[in-house]
Amino acid sequence: ADSFTSEHTPGCDNTATALSNKSIKEDSPVTSNSPACDSNSEGSNDSGRGGSEHDLVCQGGEALVHFEFSMPSELCGHFIGKHGKNINYLKSTTGAHVSLTKNPCTPGYQICQIA
């Protein structure tokens, strides 16, 4: 099995999830240490389910998977790759949508969303 080491990074919960072709059950609990996570919104009437149920399931019937994490801005270029090589490979091999946006809570970090 592959392994890696990581130093603590402010604004990052330092967890990694291995991507695999295993399907995820819709009733699997989802947890996050992110302050923006709906599970941390006490008193909210928002169900956190987003749009209609059909938006949460692929055509094959599998649940959609969404990853969100922070990374230091200076590493975003390596993540994207020269002329977008790395990000384009990720998109073409998985069909995922990838976005990078500034983290409003932690300057110097970007939020990466992969869905």
Provide the pairing of β-strand 98-102 with 109-114. Answer: antiparallel
Residue 114, pLDDT > 70, answer yes
For residue 63, name the pLDDT band (cuts at 50, 70, 90): confident
Phi-psi region of 75 (alpha: psi -120 to 50; beta: other; left: phi over 0): alpha
* pLDDT value for 1: 44
Smallest CA-to-CA distance from 108 within 70, 67, 69 is with 70
Q: Would you say 6 and 14 are in contact if contact means Cβ atoms under 8 Å apart?
A: yes
2: which strand partners?
none
Q: 101 φ, ψ to 5°?
A: -135, 155
Model pLDDT, residue 50: 45
Tens of pLDDT, residues 68-104: 999 999 999 999 999 999 999 999 999 999 999 999 9
**Model confidence over 14-54: pLDDT tens digits?**
444 444 444 444 444 444 455 554 444 455 555 555 444 44
